[in-house]
Amino acid sequence: MTYAIIEASGKQLWVEPGSFYDLNKIEADPGDSVFFERVLLINDLNEIHIGKPCIADAKIQATVLRHLRGKKVIVYKMRPKKGTRIKKGHRQELTRLVIKSINIGNKVIN
């Protein structure tokens, strides 16, 4: 099992080649390649590489599939006995990515 732990969009994600992930919106067009260089850990068939805090020569290559919006989150505030009610909704802008490869040095892991 090959996987990597990366830092992207203010979160740490466990990513595997060929898997799909939704991140906060990235300014890239669908079909573009995106590289993540903040790689914290890579596990390649039980050979583990750990960064301090990041692995220097590691990159994750991903392809942007599309931009979408997340589920609606409802925020409702009510002040009892005051007659004040506020209902707000929010939908986060997301980007769907597919991980193409994990690169460490000259070695490419698909």
* Tens-digit pLDDT string for the chain (110 aa): 899 999 998 999 999 999 999 999 999 999 999 999 999 999 988 789 999 999 999 999 999 999 999 999 999 999 999 999 999 999 999 999 999 999 988 888 87
| Neighbouring C-beta atoms of residue 100, cutoff 10 Å | 16
pLDDT score, position 61: 95
Residues spanned by the domain of 10 = 2-109
pLDDT score, position 1: 80
pLDDT score, position 104: 87
For the entire predicted model, the pTM comes to: 0.82
What total number of domains does the chain contain?
1
**How far from 14 is each of 40, 74, 87, 95, 98, CA to CA, in Å?**
10, 28, 35, 17, 13
Rg (CA), the chain: 19
pLDDT score, position 44: 86
pLDDT score, position 110: 77
* Torsional class of 31: left (φ above 0), alpha (ψ -120 to 50), beta (otherwise): left
